Chains A and B, each alone.
Chain A
Amino acid sequence: MRVMLNGEPSEIKDSSTVADLLDSLAIGRERVAVEVNLDIVPKAMYDTHLLSDGDKIEVVHFVGGG
């Protein structure tokens, strides 16, 4: 299915959960936050939150800043 991932159109496996997506990208779940269609997905929901075709997904983390 196609989703928007951090502003880029991306192809991901059907019926992926947030956890599946992070695993496939080798992103550790502890240090990120995930938003799907402007709603934050709590870490406790990563294993159960199913992504859908057309979802707008943001995966953010901390970078250097003032």
Chain B
Amino acid sequence: MALENDKLIIAGREFNSRLMVGTGKYASFQQMAQALEISGAEIITVAVRRVNISDRSKESLLDYIDPKRYTLLPNTAGCYTADDAVRTCRLAREAGLSDFVKLEVLGDEKTLFPDNEELLKAAKILVKEGFTVLPYTSDDVIMCRKLEDIGCAAVMPLGAPIGSGLGIRNPYNIRIILETIKVPVIVDAGVGSASDAAIAMELGCDGVLMNTAIAGAQDPIAMAEAMKLAIIAGRLSYKAGRIPRKLYANASSPVEGLLA
């Protein structure tokens, strides 16, 4: 296939899959593990939370995830300040022994849009401390450029609000980001269905990160497979080079030799 040597490279590390998936909101750990498996994803996000001290009976997420097989990408979900996000990343590195972090600093509970000022502040600190920072940010090329300039390993603009399933709301902004930014551009958040993922890839994005679109589907296992295929299809379509859009028809069958 045309994608044989088409690796996604983040901070020097190579990945075959361009689909990254979250581990939240599944009905069970078994279902999550199956969805991860069929999605083909190699990078999966996790959250950092307090251990439940009073009830130790609950199973642990990592009983269902082989850390040798997957690259864990701990997030800073729920952090509203740079300080909280940095603290969470430091804890994540200690818990997981990896420098990869999905940095998000939220500005508002209703939209879950990023607070880009705090995000940049946190990213600067984390890059200095040797983290491989993948920041969730707005679909704003100026912000993405600032994040790239300070040393982020990728930029992850949102397609639409987290968990909204609204798809890629501003493909033109994503295109501008793609033309400007040299590090991988990964659409993070907003994907609702396989076609949304394919659109992101057809635009030329390096990858797509999603959670709710799979975990919240009526059949998460089937949706995980659909997403895997959509990412591959979208990537192939991008590489193949689409035809230009035209307003009027252009016949596919020859006009010569028509019966009189």
Interface residues of A (CB under 8 A from B): 5-8, 10, 25-27, 31-35, 38, 40, 42-43, 58-66
Contact = CB atoms under 8 A, between A and B. Distances in A.
B91 interface: yes
Contacts of B212: 66
Interface residues of B, number: 38
B95 A62 contact: yes
A6 B61 contact: no
A59 to B, nearest CB: 5
Nearest to B48: A60
Interface in B74-96: 74-75, 77, 87, 90-96
From A7, A26, A58, A61, residue with most partner B Cβ within 10 Å: A61
A62 B76 CA distance: 11
A40 B32 CA distance: 30
Contacts of B233: none
Contacts of A43: 94
Contacts of B60: 31, 61
Interface of B: 22-26, 32, 45-51, 53-54, 56, 60-62, 72, 74-75, 77, 87, 90-96, 162-163, 189, 209-212
Contacts of B56: 25-27
A8 B46 CA distance: 24
A19 B87 CA distance: 22
Given A8-B53, A33-B92, A35-B87, 15 more contacts: A7-B50, A8-B54, A25-B53, A33-B48, A35-B91, A40-B91, A61-B48, A62-B92, A64-B23, A64-B25, A65-B22, A65-B47, A66-B75, A66-B162, A66-B163
30 contacts: A5-B53, A6-B50, A6-B51, A26-B56, A31-B60, A33-B91, A33-B93, A35-B91, A40-B91, A40-B94, A60-B50, A60-B95, A62-B47, A62-B49, A62-B61, A62-B62, A62-B74, A62-B92, A62-B95, A63-B61, A64-B24, A64-B46, A65-B47, A66-B22, A66-B24, A66-B45, A66-B189, A66-B209, A66-B211, A66-B212
Contacts of B94: 33-34, 40, 42-43
A25 B56 CA distance: 8
The prevalent SS among residues of A at the interface is strand
Given A6-B51, A8-B53, A43-B94, A64 B22 contact: yes
A61 B95 contact: yes
Given A8-B53, A62-B72, A40 B90 contact: yes
Interface centre among A25, A43, A65 (most CB of B within 10 A): A65
Nearest to B189: A66
